[in-house]
Amino acid sequence: MSDRQDHHPVLTLDAIRTCLEGVIPATIATVAPDGTPNVSQLSQVHYVDPGHIALSYQFFNKTRANILDCRDALLEVIDPSTGAQYRLRLDYLRTETDGPLFESMKAKLSGIASHVGMAEVFRLRGADLFRVTEIEAVPGGRPLPARIRPRSLLSAVRRACEGLRGCADLSDLLDRAIMALRDLFGVEHALILLPDAASGRLFTVAALGYEASGEAAGEASKRGSGIGWEVAPGDGVIGVAARERVPIRITHMTTDVAYSMAMRQGTAAGPLHEIPFPGLERPHSQLAVPILTHEAGDGRGGLGGVLFVESAQEMRFTYDDEDALATLAAQLGALMRSLPAAQTTEVEDPPAEPAPAPAPAPAGGPPITVRHYTTDDSVFLDHDYLIKGVAGAILWKLVREHTILGRTDFTNRELRLAPDIPLPDFAENLEARLILLQRRLDDRRGPLRIEKTGRGRFRLLVETPLRLEEMQ
């Protein structure tokens, strides 16, 4: 008799995460204290870590009563691509009604509910956390071959992180990150947002795939790429990811207003001091990943920004995509922290010798009106909104000094020390605001532009006469 034994690999949650995407409802079996069995289906099973899952608590039904009484359950899940089935033995730990886990499940449930037309019925009341004590493959049947991914995410992460090394400044880092999303991850629509410490909001400084969005060329140019669009913490998938410091992923189209990223246009009279959200009209997949830069006082990472991707394709971003982009975001956060522009000491190149003479503004042609509103430092070019806040105050200072003194060359240091620019004392966001201003002007393709002339130095390029108006 042979003493050789067959050894089967031990199944882990990581290996079967595709079963937890909500494509095929899971089945849960519980038992009452008197021994009566109960079987029902679940709309959401959420992967937490290699040893835990969470189930959505929406109704107080027989299943939940049994779990609270007996604390164990048997869960059966199905891989949507292969048809393979697995049984998970669960041990109930606790229910969470707020915090990162709850918010992540709430966002995903919103997408599932809208997908099946049950948005008014599926409302998350809690996230039931379970320890997975055993996983077994259900015998019988012939699973289909696993789907081959169009690219290796591990290779994409490695190459993306290598490509971010040696960035000259924050602008270069943002550009390389956007190109990595496009070229290595196959992402077609993306935004990178940075926080404004003074207002608490996030503003877009880099974008991919929104330049035209199917509009006519003239209208697309006016609408722009979304650079400068702002969002408040807790608003939409981006805002929730920023507030909770965890990735938020939706795999199906959602109509829940709490997660819809479409900007609601105001109806009040007067100029509109905001930039429309540039995103897809009907996204079917969205993923927002926080960029963390340091340890905050509450034990969570300090927010350095948010990386956001979306697609018109359902199930475009999986758990593996979430892990990959979270790794990329972590690398971005580390590099943001180490860039010279992030330090409190201003680094500045000496002026070029001899300094080139600025080209004079054209004497003829109609002037453009630069209108500044003191209430929020918003700036309009003629009747079109351009920018507000710190970036608006910077532009207003530049155009005033150009008009009055004929200046075209400026330094970061003088802006940092200027009393009329409301930079917060507790945060270094001048570099980010200059990037925002430069890209908004480029986006507009108008007569004003900013170009770097060295480290800590830049030039204002003016192609037409300016008429300045100060508004209250």
130 and 173 belong to one structural domain = no
376 and 313 belong to one structural domain = no
Q: What is the reported pTM? A: 0.84
123 and 244 belong to one structural domain = no
State mean pLDDT over 37-46: 88
Helix (H, G, I), strand (E, B) or coil at 399: helix
306 forms beta bridges with 193, 290
Q: What is the pLDDT of residues 447-459, one digit of tens each?
A: 999 999 988 899 9
pLDDT value, residue 342: 44
Average pLDDT, rounded, for the chain? 82
pLDDT value, residue 425: 58
pLDDT value, residue 219: 41
Asked if the structure places residue 264 within a domain, the reply is no
Cβ–Cβ < 8 Å for 94, 129? yes
CA distance 258 to 242: 14
State mean pLDDT over 361-370: 71
CA distance 188 to 213: 11
Asked if the structure places residue 2 within a domain, the reply is no
Query: Among 390, 7, 329, 371, which residue's Cα sits nearest to residue 192?
Result: 329
Structural domain harbouring 164: 153-212+223-256+276-338
CATH number at residue 427: 1.10.10
Q: Chain-centre distance of CA 76, in angstroms?
A: 33
Query: Among 435, 411, 213, 188, which residue's Cα sits nearest to residue 316?
Result: 188
Asked if the structure places residue 143 within a domain, the reply is no
Structure tokens at 239: 């805002």
Contacts 24+ apart (CB under 8 A), 102-105: 102/126, 102/127, 103/240, 103/243, 103/244, 103/246, 103/248, 104/46, 104/244, 104/246, 104/247, 104/248, 104/249, 105/44, 105/46, 105/54, 105/56
Per the structure, the count of domains in the chain is 3
pLDDT value, residue 294: 67
Lowest mean pLDDT across 9-18, 23-32, 164-173, 404-413: 9-18
CA distance 371 to 379: 6
285 and 172 belong to one structural domain = yes
Contacts of 66 (CB under 8 A, 6+ apart): 30, 31, 32, 38, 73
pLDDT value, residue 421: 86
67 and 124 belong to one structural domain = yes
Q: What is the pLDDT of residues 323-350, one digit of tens each?
A: 999 999 999 999 998 875 444 344 555 6
pLDDT value, residue 33: 94
State mean pLDDT over 341-361: 49
DSSP letters along 49-63, please?
ETTEEEEEE-S--HH
